[in-house]
């Protein structure tokens, strides 16, 4: 580590605007900080627990639900290719026997969705419908399904990845509108019982990662401690990601890129071994898959740093529980057990965030907050309920960057170290 880097990584009194504002509370908190070794001890215990935990993500078959419900899983190309070949053979056999052909498509409608509390996920029930070729009302969809199957087959055979938009453009005449090919792609995914990533149809990525992680992206070894301040862009194709290695003690999930930049520039991960990841706002599929992958393979606790507002919690919920329209894929996209580190409504007073750095919540914000209080993922966590109730009651929200009022590096030098030292997460 160069001298320059070390200097920036060091804790020290902020040079910024201390005298012009009463920030005695900030100084007081700074003084509470123990040595880095002591602080690390706090997280080490949690990290060890996470690694040794025999906790296993429950599956549908653990609950004897595998025949009544349906989920998809990651499968390798050769097995997906085999399934498509089998579907084609079935169709051919059916045609030769004079019965025409049809596809048996799982229903993805909300009436066929089921929330399984034990899994804390939404899954699909087993309702399916026949998509018959020789039927005026289903012939178009059956044709599109056959076409999508053949396109996916070609993609897998070439061992490349494409986007939904690419898929649409290969036959605009048939698909007419991208929503039609997109919907059938989801059908095909359910029908074959594999994730959309297994079909090699990927979403564009916008997430970045930095810190104590080494992985392979399409055969290239990526050392995320050597990715400067910009970090490594998270790859769109998770199946080309492999061999994750890490000596980190935790994963720090950050809502916004400004906070990410602060932590990357301060090389926060050198002082507190961690992996820092952000989707720069609303989580995209690639970042969610990447987080899930890290959590599963490295068995690290995940601490989340989001704005103290309903939107910040909603972002957490997408990482944890997924979104309704991808429910059939929920087990592959969701990372349960994320700890809410901050910024929490109670932090505003604890850290004495100045009044003028807090923002008033709009009526819509308050409604969103109240709606969240009805959500299962919130209700299961008493601490979260209390925090949310406080947010709705005080009608105040705050961004992560509000901490800049105590100095630009307060986040990396005081707030986060103290949070970890006090094991202050929910």
Q: Residues marked as binding?
A: 255, 307
Cα 83 off chain centre by:
29
We find the least distance from the C-beta atom of residue 325 to its own copies, in angstroms, to be 21
We find the least distance from the C-beta atom of residue 261 to its own copies, in angstroms, to be 6
C-alpha 77/C-alpha 131 separation (Å) is 25
Nearer of residues 206 and 339 to its own copies, judged by Cβ = 206
Residues in binding site for Mg(2+)? 255, 307
C-alpha 316/C-alpha 75 separation (Å) is 27
C-alpha 194/C-alpha 329 separation (Å) is 8
User: In this structure, are strands 302-305 and 250-254 parallel, antiparallel, or unpaired?
Assistant: parallel
Nearer of residues 112 and 278 to its own copies, judged by Cβ = 278
Closest CA to 268 of 284, 289, 254, 283: 254
C-alpha 33/C-alpha 29 separation (Å) is 7
Nearer of residues 155 and 248 to its own copies, judged by Cβ = 155
End-to-end CA distance of the chain: 34
R_g of the chain, CA atoms, integer Å: 24
Nearer of residues 235 and 336 to its own copies, judged by Cβ = 235
Main-chain phi, psi angles of 343, to 5 degrees:
-70, 125
C-alpha 357/C-alpha 406 separation (Å) is 11
Which of 115, 153, 169, 410 is labelled catalytic? 169
C-alpha 417/C-alpha 280 separation (Å) is 23
CB 200 within 8 A of CB 163: no
Asked if 319 is an active-site residue, the reply is: no
We find the least distance from the C-beta atom of residue 371 to its own copies, in angstroms, to be 27
Task: Tally DSSP H helices, then E strands, for the chain.
Answer: 19, 16
Nearer of residues 313 and 400 to its own copies, judged by Cβ = 400
Catalytic residues, by residue number, are: 169
């Amino acid at each position: 580590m160069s001298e320059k880097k070390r200097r920036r990584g060091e804790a020290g009194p902020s040079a910024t605007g201390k005298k012009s504002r009463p920030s005695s509370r900030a100084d007081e908190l700074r003084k509470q900080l123990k040595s880095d070794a002591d602080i690390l001890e706090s997280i080490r215990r949690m990290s060890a627990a996470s690694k040794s935990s025999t906790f296993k993500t429950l599956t549908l078959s653990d609950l004897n639900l595998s025949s009544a419900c349906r989920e998809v899983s990651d499968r390798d190309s050769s097995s997906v290719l085999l399934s498509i070949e089998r579907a084609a053979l079935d169709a051919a056999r059916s045609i030769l026997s004079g019965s025409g052909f049809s596809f048996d498509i799982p229903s993805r409608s909300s009436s066929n969705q089921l929330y399984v509390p034990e899994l804390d996920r939404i899954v699909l029930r087993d309702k399916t419908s026949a998509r018959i070729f020789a039927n005026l009302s289903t012939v178009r969809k059956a044709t599109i399904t056959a076409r999508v199957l053949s396109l996916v087959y070609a993609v897998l055979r070439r061992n490349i990845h494409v986007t939904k938009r690419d898929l649409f453009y290969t036959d605009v005449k048939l698909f007419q509108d991208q929503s039609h090919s997109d919907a059938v792609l989801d059908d095909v995914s359910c029908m074959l019982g594999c994730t959309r990533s297994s079909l090699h149809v990927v979403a564009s990525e916008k997430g970045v990662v930095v810190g104590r992680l080494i992985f392979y992206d399409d055969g290239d070894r990526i050392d995320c401690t050597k990715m400067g301040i910009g970090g490594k862009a998270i790859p769109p194709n998770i199946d080309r990601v492999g061999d994750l290695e890490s000596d980190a003690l935790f994963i720090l999930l950050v809502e916004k890129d400004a906070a990410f930049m602060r932590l990357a520039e301060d090389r926060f991960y050198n002082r507190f071994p961690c992996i820092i990841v952000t989707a720069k706002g609303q989580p995209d599929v690639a970042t969610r898959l990447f987080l899930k992958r890290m959590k599963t393979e490295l068995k690290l606790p995940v601490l989340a740093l989001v704005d103290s507002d309903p939107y910040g919690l909603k972002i957490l919920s997408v990482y944890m529980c997924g979104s309704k329209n991808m429910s059939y894929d929920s087990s592959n996209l969701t990372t349960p057990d994320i700890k809410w580190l901050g910024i929490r409504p109670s932090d505003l007073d604890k850290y004495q965030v100045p009044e003028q750095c807090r923002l008033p919540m709009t009526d819509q914000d308050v409604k969103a907050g109240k709606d969240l209080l009805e959500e299962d993922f919130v209700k299961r966590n008493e601490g979260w309920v209390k925090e949310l109730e406080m947010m709705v009651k005080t009608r105040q929200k705050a961004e992560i960057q509000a901490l800049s009022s105590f100095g630009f590096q307060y986040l990396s030098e005081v707030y986060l170290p103290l949070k970890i030292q006090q094991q202050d997460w929910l």
